[in-house]
Structure 1
Amino acid sequence: MQVQKTLQDLSNRINALPQGIAGLHAVYHFVLSGEEGGTYEVVFADNQADYTMGVTREAGCKVELSDKDFIKLVEGRLNPTVAFVTGKLKISGEMGLSFKLQTILHHYQSQK
Structure 2
Amino acid sequence: MSVEQTIANLLEKINSNPHGIEGMTAVYHFQLSGADGGTYQVKIENSRATYTKEATEEAGCTLELSDENFIKLVHGKLNPTTAFMMGKLKIKGAMGLSLTLQTILQTYQS
Aligned to 2:7: 7
How many pairs are equivalent? 110
TM-score computed with the length of structure 2 as normaliser: 0.98
**Deviation >2 Å, runs of 4+:** none
Does 2:55 align with 1:55?
A: yes
Does 2:18 align with 1:22?
A: no
Structure 2 runs not aligned, ≥5 long: none
TM-score computed with the length of structure 1 as normaliser: 0.97
Aligned to 1:97: 97
Percent identity, aligned pairs only, is 58
Structure 1 runs not aligned, ≥5 long: none
CA distance in 1, matches of 2:57, 2:42: 10
CA distance in 2, matches of 1:55, 1:80: 22
How far has the Cα of 1:77 moved from its partner? Answer: 0.3
Aligned to 2:108: 108
Does 2:43 align with 1:43?
A: yes
CA RMSD of aligned residues (A): 0.8
